[in-house]
Each structure stands twice: as C-alpha cells, then as structure tokens.
Structure 1
Amino acid sequence: MILPRYGERSLCEVTPSLLAAMGVPGFDNVLGVERAVAACLLVVDGLGWELLNAHAQDAPFLSGQAVGKEPVTAGFPSTTATSVASFGTGMTSGQHGIVGYSFAAPDLLYALPWRVDGVDARERLVPEEIQPLPTLFERAETETTIAAPMLQRGSGLTRSALRGGTFEPVFALGDLTAKILANKGFCYAYHGDLDTVGHVYGPGSKAWRWQLNHVDQLVEAVVAALPKGALLAVTADHGMVLMTSTVDFDTESALQQGVRLIGGEPRARHVYTEPGAAEDVLKAWQGVLRDKAWVVGKEQAIDEGWFGPVSDHVRPRIGDVIAAAQGEIGVVRTSKEKFESGFTGVHGSLTPAEMRVPFLTFVGG
C-alpha cells in the first residue's frame, strides 16, 4: 500500500508549486520548482511512474529525464476526477469532495460525465455547489488557460475543479503543442489518449506502447521549442494496472446484503450501507475479498489518511466501507456498469503502479 504524500509530494502540491515558481503571490513552492516566467502543466492521463520505467524503450526522452528523479503520488482514489480536482484546487479529496469516479452526493453522481442514472445532472447537482472551494485559477493573479478536448468545455468536472481559467479547446496533438508553446501565463493542458488505449487494450499492449511513444515525441518537441524562461511540467493523474480477474457485485449475494448504494470503480469501491449494517457489511466484504483487497471502514480510512483532511460536508460522500483492490482484481458491476466492467486496464487503488506518477520539469533556454 502506498498512501498519498499529502502536503509533501502529492498532486495537491503540483499546481501551487508551479504558480509559486512563476512568482504568483499566495502560493508555496513545496516541490522546489525552478523559477520560470510562464508555466504549463501537461497532464498525461494514465502515465504511471512504474509503467514509464518498465517501457523506457518506448519513451526514451521521458524515461531518460526521469533517471534520478522522484515521483509524486496521486491522492485516493487514484482516478481522474479526483486528481483533476486536486490539480485545480490544491486540495485533498477529503477537502474538495470529488471522492471518486462515482460517489453519493447524495444521489450516485458519476463525476466524469456528471450524470445520475445516465442523465445530465449539472442542474440537479450544480458543480459549483458540489465543489464550492475557490479554485487555484480563480485565486491566481495571472492569466490562466485550460487546454483540453472540446468535450470537457463546460463539463461538470471542469466547472467544479478548473473554473477561472480561459478554456481553449484542443482538437489534435499538433493543436495541443501549439497551445502549450503559446502560453504566456499559466496553462493546464490535458492529454487523455494514453489512458483510453490503456483501458481498452491494457497498459503494455502494442497500441498502448505506440501511444506512449507519441506522447514521448510530443514532450520532446515541446521542450525543444520552449521559449527562454518558460517551463513545462509533465505529470499524470494516476498509473494503471491490468484487470485479469473480477468479483461481480451484481451476482455476488454476499456482497449485496445490507448495501444501500455502491460507488467508486472496480479498483476503489465506496460501499454505502443501510442504517446499522456497516459492521456486517465490512465483515462480509472482507470475507469475500480476503487478501484481494484492503477492505476497511470509513473511520479507519479517514484516520489513516487515505483522503487527507476530511471536511464535514465531504464525510457523507465517503463510503461506510472502502474496498481498495490489490493484485490484478476488480469489483465490477456487469449489469449496472457494463462499460467499465469490460476494461482491461484499470486504476483507483493504493498500489505503487496506480499511485506513483512522474513529475518532470523543463525550462526553455
């Protein structure tokens, strides 16, 4: 188990450190980033530290730059929605409240599409109310840009976690490169294809390795063209592992008893119980999953720092029982979550492969 290094070397410290390196007042440079006149944070979805090292031949530039460097950790769960919220707010999941891929708010909200029961929930669960803390982009006294796919423009997650920046839609790798190099202030740039290919074919597959090579060439080209004093930081929201075996909640009756609602994703489940059933549910899940997952009660997970400091309004969003997978297993829902249950590559748990991600910086000139 790798617990998040909140306050020291986690995703929560990334954006504040970059803003501080630019001299923007009000932020701490915890990560010791080199001074820069402008900075761009490139988030490569799914680029785990262990995956990068294991496939160094497919990413010679990035892997070469990673030699002698130290990774940072994702928060918990190690999943996109949670990590993006930490990039945007500088807060832990226990503070910003985006505590998973899906969570009780109080209806089960799927945070990436911002949907409840398959229906757009932006009016029902207003993003600015679900995550009311000021974002770093609202606080920063500098020009900020969000360079991401058009699909993310105005999305619930963008509104909740990244509001305050000027959204610049990205349509291709060349477009992403141009927008990064045109940045004069702070830029948050996102590339999601490595994660997509990993979900479909698995990390380490031929398709995934070719995509990693494309990302490597992208970064090398950007670094070569960086204006003097401009900084590029490359990191990720999580790593990824293969899912070679599953336990199906929708067919495993022992897991269903006393359960009111189940959130999260295959590698990190929030289990919301009926009143008075938490202890029985905890024992049942521990009995079924045994050494295949870390299964703990809400208070233990909070006390051990999985979610960092937890605000009062966030506490009800955390499951009464938390199941974080080990090995290559996942707790799926083949009837309720058909799409996610079919993934080959997955993430969300506390294993090193999911939690450790690169943090590499480059300054032009």
Structure 2
Amino acid sequence: MDRLHELLPGTWTDDPTLADLAGSVSSALGFGTDRPLPVPDSHTVVVLMVDGLGDVLLQEHSVFAPAMASHRAMAMRVGFPSTTATSLTSLATGLPCAEHGILGYSFAPRDLDPAVEHTLNALRWTLDTADGPPAESVFAPTDVQPMPTAFDELTHAGAGVITLMPELFRGSGLTRAAYGTPADYRDASSPGAVRDQVVDLLAVGDRGPRLIYGYVPNLDAAGHRWGPGTPEWLERLRRIDDVVAAIIAALPPGATLVVTGDHGMITAGRRIDIDTSPVLTEGVRAVAGEARARHVYAEPGRCDEVFARWSSELDGQAHVATRDQVLAEQWFGATAAAHVAERIGDVVAVPGLDTLLTRSLREPMETMMPGHHGGWTVAEILVPFIVATG
C-alpha cells in the first residue's frame, strides 16, 4: 500500500485499535474477558511503547529492526488524530479520544473555558503554545481527562504495575491525564535504561499478575529533528531493536512482550502558513492542533464564514469540515461525550498527503521540523502490534 494512502473516516473499520490494548493486557493478566488483541495469558506482560514507531516505517526499514519485524503480528490503527497525547491516553484508558477528551497536540477545552481564552498544549501541558506558561492551574489534568485508567484499575485490582519512563515526565500534566497516578514509577531516561530494568524485573520470575510498561521517546524525537528514514533516525531504530531483542531473550515462561507505537510519521512537503494568510485568520479567535490536523475556533457568529473561507482557500489541499460534520462522521470516535464534543473546533482541517498547515509565528519550532504526524495517511495512523512470549 502507498505509504501516503489516506485512511478516510468512511474507510475506518471495527478492527482493533491502540485503545484495545489495555483491555487485552488486563484480560491476559486475568482481569476481564475482553481481548480484541491476541495477547496470550501471562503472569507478566511487558508493554513497550516506542514513540513514533509507525507500521509503514517499520516495514520499509525492517533490515534495521529484525527483532521487531520478525515478531510483528499485525498492524493496528491508533485513532485520530495520530499524535502522542491522544494515543497515549487511548492506550492507558482503553478509550478513543471522543470519550477521553485529549483531542490532539493542542485544543480548546471550551467546556472548562467557554470564552476560549486559552488553548491547552496537551503534550507539554502549557497554555497556548509549547513554551507557554504551565496550564495546571487553569486546566487541571483530572478535569480535562476524568476517566479512570487501566494502570490505576489494575493496581486497585491487585496487579503489580511498574512504569518505566523518563524522570522528566513524572507527575506531568499529560502523565496524570493519560496514566493516572502510577504507584511504582521508575526513572528510565534512555532505551538502555528501559532494557536493563525490564531484564532485571523479568529475572525474578513469576511475580504476577504484573504489568511492566516502558516508554521510549527517542525515535519520535529523531524523526522530528532529522526526518524519518534519515541515518540519524535509522540509528535510533537499530538501538531500539537491540533493546527489544534483549528483552525477548530475557522472557521467562509465562511472560509476554508487546511492542507498539503511538503514531507513524511522514516527511514534510508543501507548507501552507496559517499565520501569514489573512484569509485563514479573519474571524478566527484560536487555532489549535498541529500541522497535520487543525482545530479552528471561530469568533462568535462567524462559524459559517470561517468554514467557507477555509474550504475555498484549501480546496484540493485539505479536508475541511464543520464540527457537526466531524461528529456525524465520527472522526474522533463513535460517540463523543457532550463535554468532549464542545472541544472540537468549529472547523477542522486535515491536509492531504504530505501537506502541512503550519504557524510560522506561533509555532516556529514545529513549523521547521522535517517530520510530522497527526493526519490519517497509513504512514501516520497505522502502528505495528509486535508480540513475543517466553
């Protein structure tokens, strides 16, 4: 399949998604019966989330990742938008973003701030921009995302849950919104640290039921900085595959490793700059999302004219829809909770193929990045489901 082929909302199926992983892992550990993904019964399940590991990229560069490629079971969809804050919350809650409410890289929580005085950067948990002021006092994580997480529910049910993530993310807004309050959070700030701690934990044998969750951000960072498929990106893919191979070798009987990603990535093509286009800024009070998926919040009473201008200006270059159309076509999930529906832009724009809707003035860092995601091409929205057993 063409790596830039679009998976439009009407083509989405009922096949398992990243949101099905939490329930499948819980069932494999003996809690529940719902198991859409083939995770075998286990006393220990290790879930390794590799940020930026798209299925198309893995297949295109499988020679650099033989361990992951050889244990790839299937591809699955992450949901829309294909971005970290949304996907991690879907993974940890078992819900699409239409229910958990983290609607992208950034969005306006209009249910909490009807005047749209601020947007929320959900990745950094800052106001308006990635380098904006902290947002916790305005948008508390438990207000923005109040649904329970599988991590907390497993802990309450008596399972051991160990979270291996960089110390930088401990207690952050996104960590609290996506994962809840991990009781056993351990610093693992490099792929090697994740490997060493997982191998040590597996060496003690059956201490189940137990979930060991490791998060590796390095591949995504390389894709944003240098671009997917570049030598720098490939070197990080190779290192991560070495980590996966070491964990597979350490799996005892009854333990399972699951590896997946939160999105794929494409290389930037044409850039359309919103900030320098009067046609795209007139009547608009806020623009959120990211270059591959934009929320547009219109000034009161100007939704129709903003939609008309965006549709005309971006004709043939982006899918532009009203909020009502987005809800009817279930872009963010089958049933949007009432408070979540309020957060969707009055207009939502998804550029086609490799086109970007950038913001040179408000998002200079993001505008210059060569690697992007958030849209619904197969290269962005499909991730691998990799599974190995002891």
- Taking structure 2 as the reference length, what is the TM-score of the superposition? 0.89
The question of 1:190 aligning with 2:215 is answered yes
Q: 2:308 aligns with which of 267, 271, 283?
A: 283
Structure 2 residue identity aligned to 1:39 = V
1:231 aligns to 2:245 (yes or no): no
| C-alpha contact (below 8 Å) 1:7/1:13 kept by paired residues | no
Q: How far apart, CA to CA, are the structure 2 residues paired with 1:167 and 1:303?
A: 40
Alignment: residue pair count: 361
State the distance in 2 between where 1:154 and 1:7 align: 34
Please, which of 76, 82, 95 is the counterpart of residue 80 of structure 2? 76
Match of 1:144 among 143, 161, 165: 161
SS at match of 1:328: coil
Gaps of 5+ in 1: none
Task: Indicate the residue corresponding to 2:179 in structure 1.
Answer: 162
d(CA) in 2 for partners of 1:175, 1:216:
14
Shift of 1:103: 0.5
- The letter for the 2-side match of 1:22 is L
Identity, % of aligned pairs? 38
**1:110 corresponds to which residue?**
121
Q: Which residue of 2 aligns with 1:314?
A: 340
1:125 shift after superposition: 1.2
Partner SS state of residue 238, structure 2: helix
C-alpha contact 2:71 2:388 (8 A) present in aligned 1: no
Which residue is equivalent to 2:3?
none
CA distance in 2, matches of 1:79, 1:94: 14
Shift of 1:148: 0.7
Deviation string 1:344-365 (CA, Å, 9 cap, x unpaired) is: 000000111100000111111x
Which of 70, 79, 88 is the equivalent residue of 2:92? 88
Q: Offset at 1:6?
A: 7.6
Deviations 1:202-227 (A, max 9, x none): 10111011111111111111101112
Name 1:336's counterpart in structure 2: 362
1:304 to 329, 343, 347: 329
Which residues of structure 2 form unaligned runs of 5+? 1-5
2:39 alignment partner, one of 33, 37, 51: 33
Q: Hey, what's the Cα distance between the residues in 1 that align with 2:74 and 2:305? A: 41
Q: By how many angstroms is 1:275 displaced?
A: 2.0
| Partner residue of 1:55 out of 61, 82, 87 | 61
Q: Is 1:15–1:41's contact at 8 Å kept on the other side of the alignment? A: no
Q: Which moved more, 1:81-90 or 1:279-288?
A: 279-288
- Using the TM superposition, give the Cα deviation of residue 32 of structure 1 relative to its aligned residue in structure 2, in angstroms: 2.8
Deviation, 1:244, is 2.1
- Map Cα deviations across residues 257-310 of structure 1 (whole Å, 9 max, x no partner): 221111000000001111222222122112222222211111212221211121
TM-score, normalised relative to structure 1: 0.95
The corresponding residue for 1:249 is 274
1:266 aligns with 2:291: yes
- Structure 1 residues 23-71: Cα deviation after superposition (integer angstroms, max 9, x where no partner): 123x5111132111111111100111111111122112222323xx320
State the 4+ residue runs in structure 1 displaced beyond 3 angstroms: 3-8
> In 1, distance between residues paired with 2:96 and 2:321?
19
Moved more, 40-49 or 52-61: 52-61
